[in-house]
Amino acid sequence: MSNIGSLDTSELQKHVNAIDSYTYDQIDCVCEALIQSQDFNTLAKFLWSIPRNDIVRNSEHVVKAKAHVAMYQERYRELYNILENHKFKSENHPILQQMWHDAHYLDAEKMRGRPLGAVEKYRIRRKYPLPRTIWDGEETVYCFKEKSRQVLRDWYENNKYPTPQDKRILAKRTELTLVQVSNWFKNRRQRDKPQSDSGDEKPSSIRSINSEQWPDDTGLSVNIYN
């Protein structure tokens, strides 16, 4: 993984000098663009170089960017501190909630040296509830809307193994994250497979549904770490 230390002095200075001329809005836009492109190495360098003042420090775009970088670099304690100490807008809650849970899962897996099962993940969610900074207090974290579940069920009936493009379309139609869509299909396949089956390999005979059947017309932005 590249880091700031890998840059030579002249390259780093050129980078810093350019950022000194950015407006606050431009800094926010760059953070969002790098998050959307999932270019977290560049985002880490950018965050290192931006001005250290209260306006920048308290920008939600910048704070969210720092959370993404901490997640990417597996600095989970820093991620928890960021999420617990900044009151985020509700529009950012879904992805930040997913990051909170995923970080605790990965943290536990690293300590135990093995993947977690569904029951273990449930216990971790109970042990580490969402902070109110990324949660409005309503019990909607683990339940999808019926409309969203129906969209997923309908697709599943035709294709149990959606492609990455299929998942992006489904995420936009259901207003879920790509991680949530992927996990729903994985969990549903595990529930449906016979006890004698092992693994979760995609049969060669499974066909991919043409994305034209589900037009990408929602205009919703999909924001995902993985």
- Provide the pLDDT for residue 111: 92
Global pTM value: 0.57
What is the tens place of the pLDDT at every residue in 123-144? 999 999 999 999 877 654 455 6
What are the chain's domains?
11-73 (no CATH), 75-140 (no CATH), 146-192 (1.10.10.60)
- Provide the pLDDT for residue 174: 87
CA atoms of 132 and 141, how far apart (whole Å): 12
Main-chain phi, psi angles of 123, to 5 degrees: -65, -35
- Provide the pLDDT for residue 202: 52
What is the tens place of the pLDDT at every residue in 179-199? 889 889 988 898 887 754 444
* 81/176: higher pLDDT: 81
Q: What is the DSSP string of 33-86?
A: HHHHHT-HHHHHHHHHHS--SHHHHT-HHHHHHHHHHHHHTT-HHHHHHHHHSS
CA atoms of 106 and 112, how far apart (whole Å): 10
| Arithmetic mean of pLDDT, 147-166 | 92
Per-residue pLDDT at 102 exceeds 80? yes
- Provide the pLDDT for residue 170: 93
- Provide the pLDDT for residue 10: 53
182 residue type, one letter: S
Contact between 24 and 60 (Cβ < 8 Å): no
Per-residue pLDDT at 163 exceeds 80? yes
* 5/74: higher pLDDT: 74
Q: Dig out the tokens for 12 from the structure.
A: 């780093």
**Range 40-46, long-range pairs (CB < 8 A, 24+ positions):** 40/68, 40/69, 40/72, 40/73, 41/1, 41/2, 41/3, 43/68, 43/69, 44/3, 44/4, 44/69, 44/72, 44/73, 45/3, 45/4, 45/7, 45/15, 46/19
| Arithmetic mean of pLDDT, 192-210 | 51
The mean pLDDT value of the chain amounts to 79
- Provide the pLDDT for residue 143: 58
Contact between 50 and 11 (Cβ < 8 Å): no
- Lowest model confidence (mean pLDDT) among 19-23, 113-117, 148-152, 208-212: 208-212
- Provide the pLDDT for residue 198: 47
- Provide the pLDDT for residue 68: 96
Residue 209: other Cβ atoms inside 10 A = 16
Q: Dig out the tokens for 131 from the structure.
A: 């902070």
Q: State whether the Cα torsion 167-163-31-22 is positive or negative.
A: negative
What is the tens place of the pLDDT at every residue in 33-53? 999 988 999 999 999 988 888
Helices (H), 113-206: 118-127, 146-158, 164-174, 178-192
User: Phi-psi bin for 44: left (phi > 0), alpha (psi -120 to 50), beta?
Assistant: alpha
Share of the chain above pLDDT 70, in %: 74
Residue 5: other Cβ atoms inside 10 A = 6
